[in-house]
Copies of this chain bind each other. A is one copy, B any other.
Amino acid sequence: MFKFVMPEVIFGSGSIKQVGESCVRLGARNVLIVTDQGVIDAGWLKSVEERCQEAGLAFVLFSNISVNPKETEAEMCAKVYRDNECDAFIGVGGGSAIDIAKAAAILVTNGGQVRDYEGVDRITKPLPPLVMVSTTAGSGSEVSQFSVIVDSERHIKMTIVSKSLVPDIAIIDPDVLATKSARLTASTGLDVLTHAIESFVSIAATPLTDVHAKNAIMLSSQFLRPSVASRFNMEAKEKMAMASLHAGLAFSNAILGAAHAMAHTIGGRYLFLHGDINAVLLPHVMEFNALAAPEKFRTIAELMGENVSSLCVSEACEKAVSHVRKLAVDIGAPLTLSEMGFEESAIPVISEIALLDACMITNPRDISADEVAFLLRQAL
């Protein structure tokens, strides 16, 4: 038996224009728009504000958000919401802005602190209306039941999982992707591929999440390269937006694995891009996990266009891994943790903490702290 949840999705060129009307439909009158400086600089906040005005909505802005967003930012965001008597959230951004909007939404109806809700199913009261506008084709947070927030005291990323965190409406407009740098397109695109592969081999995968994961693997292996290559290839942007949607639906309902557990832990201590960490870790984790689900890795290779019909299963698994490695090289993603500034001395503590991340539970192969340390050393 499995459960599957998703928000209402509005997808396609121009869909950002639906943001005001979407809030009105949910009964909002005075919304808090949560976003970050990158979105403001790219001009997308202005579009959102204009649509709110047209829809007769009052709005307030909160944009003090780090790349790896912190619980203190969620608390400030909740305070702004309360002080201004808002009645709904609009999140505009990648994972950072959307995850802060979600965490603040928890606080305004459930009280307490962000860390009270770390883990699975700890939210008891319904959240206010949430309309999320994705700007990255990466995090999948606009459709997921996850919020990932840095605990700045413990220097870890807390993973909060609850059906209550599934937004009411997710708006995915591929036009927005045209303002992303090649660097960010590569990083978020490899995050999509990591979502897809980890959810496909997750022990919580279901026939429905498999459908989404497979489509995400196919689309990202086909369209990530051209999307990085040109800001004007709108077909590639649209396909990557669709890949991100599929991957988001897959991991929201099947959870993830060791790469994400480790990436969350590293991201709690280093200001690396989440997608970069995943990009480096993914092939190592795939090699490690192949033992647990060889036929699934054969399917991954096939979905990425490899001809594996004449290969034995372990050769087919290697094809899947080498395909992912080559993709990362082609689009100029970082290939080692060292080049990003990660220090070997951090490995013991990172290994211990990563084991406790909620995403580790669904990794298909049992894993110990020593094995996490081994994978991190391989990825150095």
Our pick among B10, B163, B212, B242 for the contact of A1 (Cβ within 8 Å) is B10
Q: Is the CB of B211 within 8 A of A11?
A: no
CB under 8 Å from chain B, chain A span 1-32: 1-6, 8-15, 18
Q: Which B residues touch A212, using CB under 8 A?
A: 211
A346 contacts chain B at the CB level, 8 A cutoff: no
Q: Is the CB of A11 within 8 A of B2?
A: yes
- A81-99 vs B, CB cutoff 8 Å, 1 = contact: the mask equals 0000000000000000000
CB under 8 Å from chain B, chain A span 197-253: 206-208, 211-212, 215, 242, 245-246
Which DSSP category, helix, strand, loop or mixed, fits chain A's interface? mixed
How many Å from the CB of A8 to the closest CB on chain B?
Answer: 5
- Docked Cα-Cα span, A2 to B15, in Å, equals 8
- Docked Cα-Cα span, A4 to B211, in Å, equals 16
- Docked Cα-Cα span, A211 to B212, in Å, equals 9
Nearest opposing residue in chain B for A253, CB measure: B9
Q: Is the CB of B12 within 8 A of A2?
A: yes
Q: Is the CB of A4 within 8 A of B9?
A: yes
- Docked Cα-Cα span, A11 to B11, in Å, equals 26
Q: Is the CB of A4 within 8 A of B15?
A: no
- A165-181 vs B, CB cutoff 8 Å, 1 = contact: the mask equals 00000000000000000
* Known contacts A3-B11, A211-B246; 9 further A-B pairs (Cβ under 8 A): A1-B12, A1-B13, A2-B10, A3-B8, A4-B8, A4-B9, A207-B242, A208-B242, A208-B245
Chain A positions within 8 Å of B, measured between CB atoms, are 1-6, 8-15, 18, 163, 206-208, 211-212, 215, 242, 245-246
What are 20 sample pairs from A and B whose C-beta atoms fall under 8 A apart?
Answer: A1-B11, A1-B12, A1-B13, A1-B14, A2-B10, A2-B12, A3-B9, A3-B10, A3-B11, A4-B8, A4-B9, A4-B11, A5-B8, A5-B9, A8-B163, A9-B208, A208-B242, A208-B245, A211-B211, A211-B246
